[in-house]
Amino acid sequence: MSVYNSLDSITEELHNCMKCGNCMEVCPIYKETRQEVGVARGKISLVQYLLSGELEMTEKLADRFSLCTTCMACNTNCPCGVRFDKIILAARAEAVRKKGLHPVKKIAFTALKMQRMFDFGMKTGSIFQGMALKHVPHKSDRIARMRFDIGIGTDKVFPMLASRTLRSEFPEVVKVKNPKMRVAFFTGCMINYFYTDIGKAVVEVLKENDIEVVIPKGQGCCGIPASVNGDVHSAAALAKRNLRAFEKLGADALVVACSSGGTAWKHVFGELLDNEPEFKALADKWAGKSYDISEFLIKKVPFKKEGLGRVERKVTYHDPCHLNRGQGVNTEPREILKSIPGVELIEMKEPGRCCGMAGSFSLVHPDLSVQISDRKTADIELTHTDTVATGCPACRLQLKSGVENAGIEEEVVHTIQILAESYKNGKKK
C-alpha cells in the first residue's frame, strides 16, 4: 500500500509521533509563522483528528496541508524517526481525492501533462514573454521580473525561457569517440525550458569523461509537482511516459541534475506504480541505476581530474532539500567543488536550510516563500562569496530571485556548470 492510495498507509507513522515538538527547531515555515499548524506536529495531529473523525476534510484543512515545503528537515530532527514526508504526501493525496486540486495548481499540472501544449506554450512564451516579463539586465543569467501581478507578486525574478529547448539542441544520442559507458540524461522541465545552460554542462562533462549521452525525446515532466500536491493520477501518467521513453533507448545508468527528477526516478515512480506490476518492475530497475550527476561523478564513474583548468571563484554551496535529505547526496558536490583548482569553498551558516521554493508552494504561499528565502539570502551575503552553487534548478531560481532582490552581486549556478567551466578553461591553455 503506498502513501498515494490511502491514509491507512501512514497510521503507524502517525502513532510514532510523541508530540515532543523537536520539529519546531528546524521547520522553515514554523520559524516564520510561529503557529502550530506550520510545524509537522500540528499537521500530524490534524491528520489524526481526520482519521478519528473529529475533523472532516474541508477546503480549509486542505489549505493547512499545503503549508509545508516538504523540505524533510523535520524527518531528520525527529527523535521518533517519524517520516513526515510520507504523512504529508498521503494527507495531500487524500485532500485531492475528497476536495479536488487547488485551482492555481490545477492549471499548472494540466499543462504539464499535455506536453505538446506545454512545448507550444513555452515556445510561444519565449517570443511573447516580453509582454508579461520585464527583462532584468544581468551578466550571466537571463532573468526577468513580472510586469504585472498574477497573484505571486512582481518581485519574483524568473529565468527567461530559453529560445530553444535543451532537448531540441541535441540529438537523441550524443556520441563520443571511445565510449566507456552509455548514460541516459533525464533533463526535467526547468533544465529543458529555462536553464539549458545546466543541461549543456551535464552533456559537456559526460562527454569529457568519454560517456555516450542519451537524451530520449519522449521524456517529459517528472511528475513531482503533481505527486507532492496529491494529484496522483497525473503523476502516475507521467511516470509511465518517462519509463517507456527511457526503456525504448536503454542505457547503463541514468543521470539527473535536479533534485525532483532524482527523487522521482529513485523513489516516487515505484511508489506511484505500486499497483501495476509491469511498470513497477520497470520503475525498480531504473531506480537502481539512477544517479544525481554529482553522485555519479564521485561514486559511479570518478570524474577525470586531468584537464581541469583554473576557475577563480569564491563559492558557497546550498544543499537542495531533496538532494541532501531526500537522497543523501551532500558530500559529493562539495568534493567536486573542492577538486577544482581556484575554487574556494566557503560554507554558509545553514547550507541545508530550505530555500523556500518548493515548487508550487511558492505559487500558493508567495509571501511565506519570500520570507524563507530572505533568511537564505542573508546567510549567503555573510559568506562574501561571488558564486552560489547548488544542485537543483528550482533552488537556483529561488536563490537568484533572493540575491537579485537584495541587490547582492552573486552568480547562482549548478555545481556541474563550474566543473564544465573548469574543463573548458583547461583546454584554453
Q: Which residues of this protein are in contact with ligand SF4, per CB under 6 A? A: 17-23, 26-29, 39-41, 44, 68-74, 78, 80, 82, 84
Q: How far apart are CA 362 and CA 62, in angstroms?
A: 16
Q: From edge to edge, which strands make up the β-sheet containing 173-174?
A: 173-174, 211-214, 181-186, 253-256, 290-292
Q: How far apart are CA 41 and CA 37, in angstroms?
A: 8
57's CB contacts (< 8 A; 6+ apart) are: 50, 94, 95, 98, 99
Q: Nearer to ligand SF4 by C-beta: 43 or 414?
A: 43
CB of 108 to ligand SF4, least distance (A): 20
Q: How far is CA 394 from the centre of its chain?
A: 5
- Strand 343-345 vs strand 313-318: parallel, antiparallel, or unpaired? parallel
CB of 30 to ligand SF4, least distance (A): 6
Q: Nearer to other proteins by C-beta: 52 or 178?
A: 52
3-state secondary structure of 7: helix
Q: Write phi, then psi, for 191 (nearest 5 degrees).
A: -75, -35
Per CB under 8 A, which region of 78-86, 172-180, 252-260, 402-410 contacts other proteins? 78-86
Q: How far apart are CA 17 and CA 22, in angstroms?
A: 10
Is 134 a binding residue for other proteins by CB under 8 A? The answer is: no
CB of 388 to other proteins, least distance (A): 24
25 binds, among other proteins, ligand SF4, none (CB under 5 to 8 A by kind): other proteins
Q: How far apart are CA 125 and CA 155, in angstroms?
A: 20
| Rg value, the chain, Cα | 21
CB of 53 to ligand SF4, least distance (A): 21
Q: Nearer to other proteins by C-beta: 48 or 110?
A: 48
83's CB contacts (< 8 A; 6+ apart) are: 13, 75
140 binds, among ligand SF4, other proteins, none (CB under 5 to 8 A by kind): none
Q: Nearer to ligand SF4 by C-beta: 17 or 293?
A: 17
Is 349 a binding residue for other proteins by CB under 8 A? The answer is: no
CB of 179 to ligand SF4, least distance (A): 41
**Contact letters (x/-) for other proteins, 44-63, by CB under 8 A?**
-xx--x----xx--x-xx-x
Which of 79, 137, 151, 277: binder of other proteins (CB under 8 A)? 79
Q: Nearer to other proteins by C-beta: 36 or 276?
A: 36
Q: Which of 51, 50, 49, 41 is nearest to 16 (CA)?
A: 41
Is 73 a binding residue for other proteins by CB under 8 A? The answer is: no
Q: Which residues bind other proteins (CB under 8 A)?
A: 12, 15-16, 18-22, 24-25, 34-37, 41-42, 45-46, 49, 54-55, 58, 60-61, 63-64, 79-81
